[in-house]
Chain A
């Protein structure tokens, strides 16, 4: 995704938004115009920045922790057939429970602070990372496995020198998905119970009929997500380049 494409998409979005406001003549407490939202964003820039920082920290910590746990879990699953047989179905089953439903419980257990939001983020991204990376670790040309056996290779070193590098593109795909999901986890947590963060600010603004501030918070959250997606996307590209041998 290039900067020019992003700018073009933003311009189209703003134009469409302004057109809807103009055509429907909606009151500003229902659908504020882009200009009004921009004004609200400027006037409340400090509040938005403080809350955006909290959400960003929750998202980043959740992403890093979730990625580390997903990485470790996928390796463990790939190393042990028993673990794969027993744990993989459980992992799939946990995905059937909506994270939204767990949010109140997590808030109860981990409190109103950042902890519950980070746990929520970890929960929401753990599966995509584990699943994608595990898929990459187990999907390898049989020829490589045969070669490793003929060389008397040890399991740990095969994992380190062959399977992990080979699975980096899959891990990158999982991380890209996680970068999009992570803010969702943090914001759900903030909606359920928080005193800081963009999710909290959006609820607060909504309750006080400050829809322009709510929109401004939403846009900042979207920008945060896009920025994270771009950074992680760049990292995933580097990982793919390394695995294909085309990195410098």
Chain B
């Protein structure tokens, strides 16, 4: 993996002429940034714009990196849905990126990553035989297989039960350390646990929110984290009201 760049996102996104959001956002290199905000404010749109995907609107502005290189082939992506292909084995799902680029997949590496995410015993199984948590682990292994310095996560843990979600958060922090990560989430607790930097997005701007001084991953019972999470929740409720 090449060294992770920081990303600066400055611009305005319009849908049918109306402004959806205007944002000035910096993602520090090698750190986790968690993006919060009410539904429909454009959090996932920012992620899609960085990925270079269709948004159904018009973006004016710039997305630049600290190393001045392009973002092409440097981003991997994980969505809320695991997006595993049901007809392929877990192992083949992990290395699907290589096949889709016409490259020979490194199956040993896929197996190594599956071991890393605790799925060594199910490499030959089909995704339909796995639990929701196991499927998200497989999706995480697929993200890791891409070995990109930037990782964009669009609510990847939101459909999991509380216990599995906490496990997945810990695993994600462990395996994605050293990459530039943008996590879109609705969960203040998740953001407080994982973020080096929290950004709250509204139609007008993207504002930084102070995080505890301790490094992620933060304990759920940590008083500073709990305080941050409570204040964050109150703020989000006020914004929604």
A-side interface residues toward B, CB under 8 Å?
141, 143-144, 146-154, 156-158, 161-162, 165-166, 242-246
Contacting pair A151 B146 (CB below 8 A) = yes
Query: Which residues does chain A contribute within 8 Å of B75, judged by CB atoms?
Result: 150
Contacts A153-B100, A153-B101, A157-B100 known; A141 to B81 CB distance under 8 Å? yes
Q: Please report the C-alpha to C-alpha distance between residue A183 and residue B204 in the assembled complex, in whole angstroms.
A: 65
Contacts A149-B52, A154-B100, A157-B99 known; A246 to B128 CB distance under 8 Å? yes
| Closest partner residue, chain B, to A157 (CB atom) | B100
Encode contact with A along B118-134: 1 for CB under 8 Å, 0 otherwise: 00000000111000000
| Closest partner residue, chain A, to B125 (CB atom) | A245
Contacts A151-B97, A157-B102, A245-B126 known; A165 to B77 CB distance under 8 Å? no
Contacting pair B101 A143 (CB below 8 A) = no
Contacting pair A243 B86 (CB below 8 A) = yes
- Is B85 at the interface (CB under 8 A from chain A)? yes
- Is B162 at the interface (CB under 8 A from chain A)? no
Q: Please report the C-alpha to C-alpha distance between residue A152 and residue B127 in the assembled complex, in whole angstroms.
A: 23
Query: Which residues does chain B contribute within 8 Å of A162, judged by CB atoms?
Result: 85, 100
- Is B76 at the interface (CB under 8 A from chain A)? yes
- Is B219 at the interface (CB under 8 A from chain A)? no
Contacts A146-B53, A146-B77 known; A158 to B100 CB distance under 8 Å? yes
Residue total for B at the interface (Cβ-Cβ under 8 A):
27
Contacts A146-B53, A245-B128 known; A152 to B101 CB distance under 8 Å? yes
Contacting pair B77 A147 (CB below 8 A) = yes
Query: Which residues does chain A contribute within 8 Å of B77, judged by CB atoms?
Result: 146-147, 150
| Closest partner residue, chain B, to A161 (CB atom) | B99
22 pairs, A vs B, C-beta closer than 8 Å: A143-B79, A144-B85, A146-B51, A146-B53, A148-B100, A150-B77, A150-B152, A151-B100, A152-B73, A152-B97, A152-B101, A153-B100, A153-B101, A158-B100, A161-B96, A162-B85, A166-B85, A243-B86, A243-B87, A244-B86, A244-B128, A245-B87
Query: Which residues does chain B contribute within 8 Å of A161, judged by CB atoms?
Result: 85, 96, 99-100
- Is B15 at the interface (CB under 8 A from chain A)? no
Q: Please report the C-alpha to C-alpha distance between residue A127 and residue B26 in the assembled complex, in whole angstroms.
A: 53
Interface residues of B in 30-79 (CB under 8 A from A): 48, 51-53, 72-73, 75-77, 79
Query: Which residues does chain B contribute within 8 Å of A152, judged by CB atoms?
Result: 72-73, 97, 100-101
Contacting pair A147 B83 (CB below 8 A) = yes
Contacting pair A157 B101 (CB below 8 A) = yes
Query: Which residues does chain A contribute within 8 Å of B152, judged by CB atoms?
Result: 150
Q: Please report the C-alpha to C-alpha distance between residue A151 and residue B99 in the assembled complex, in whole angstroms.
A: 10
Query: Which residues does chain B contribute within 8 Å of A244, judged by CB atoms?
Result: 86-87, 128
Interface residues of B in 71-123 (CB under 8 A from A): 72-73, 75-77, 79, 81, 83, 85-88, 96-97, 99-102
Besides A153-B97, A165-B87, 15 new A-B residue pairs in contact (Cβ under 8 A), listed by A number: A146-B53, A147-B77, A151-B101, A152-B72, A152-B100, A153-B101, A154-B100, A154-B101, A156-B102, A158-B100, A161-B99, A244-B86, A245-B126, A245-B128, A246-B128
Contacts A150-B75, A161-B96 known; A144 to B128 CB distance under 8 Å? no
Interchain nearest-CB distance for A173 vs B (Å): 17
Query: Which residues does chain A contribute within 8 Å of B87, judged by CB atoms?
Result: 165, 242-245
Interchain nearest-CB distance for A183 vs B (Å): 32
Q: Please report the C-alpha to C-alpha distance between residue A146 and residue B86 in the assembled complex, in whole angstroms.
A: 17
Query: Which residues does chain A contribute within 8 Å of B146, judged by CB atoms?
Result: 151
Q: Please report the C-alpha to C-alpha distance between residue A144 and residue B153 in the assembled complex, in whole angstroms.
A: 15
